Amino acid sequence: PRFKLERWETGASCFVRYTITRPDGRAASRVFNPDGFFRLHVGAGVVAVFVEADLGTESVTRRFRAKIHAYRTYVRSGEYQARFAQKRFRVLVVTTSWARVANLAALAEEEQAGHVFWFTTSDALLAATNFLMEPIWRQAAEAKPAIFLDPTQVVGQLAPV
């Protein structure tokens, strides 16, 4: 399929501080700060993608669990839909090693967010000719690498967080 990059934002322009209402009725401030965002037109569909660069310098469990919760809270607040005019998205996570990919993928699966997060290494990404259509990505529950934009998939049917 043909791709057209419709939108690209770096982390600084993706940063947003917003307010949610907690279960007790009080307001709480939250921050959403991905490393990047892009939206592609693919055939007749649109794919919204956040990007996270994991440098392997922090605890997998604490930092990445916090990221997953930040995505979930952002979506549930309605802020994502209002800002990006999309209901669904994926998150591409690029990290330092396949061992770290396995750890991050396991945590995403544990947090029931494995369908949203896709993982690869920086080496695999740099070696790819077309990183969207080469089997360099791993989803949480899948043991072998997959193609991020498989031409046989229905692009508009992306899983929500």
In order along its 161 residues, the chain shows pLDDT tens digits of 677 888 899 988 989 999 888 889 999 998 999 999 999 888 778 889 999 999 877 777 788 899 999 999 999 898 999 998 888 899 999 999 999 999 999 999 999 988 899 999 999 999 999 898 899 999 887 778 888 887 666 444 443 33
On the 0-12 / 13-18 / 19+ scale of CB atoms within 10 A, 92 is buried
Please say whether the beta carbons of 138 and 146 come within 8 A. yes
Which three-class secondary structure state does DSSP give residue 32? Answer: strand
Strands, E assignment, the chain: 3-10, 16-21, 27-32, 36-42, 45-53, 90-95, 117-121, 135-139, 146-147
Whole-angstrom Cα distance, residue 159 to residue 108? Answer: 14
Whole-angstrom Cα distance, residue 124 to residue 122? Answer: 6
Strands 90-95 and 45-53: parallel
pLDDT at 155: 46
pTM confidence score:
0.87
pLDDT at 157: 42
Please say whether the beta carbons of 35 and 11 come within 8 A. yes
Whole-angstrom Cα distance, residue 98 to residue 151? Answer: 25
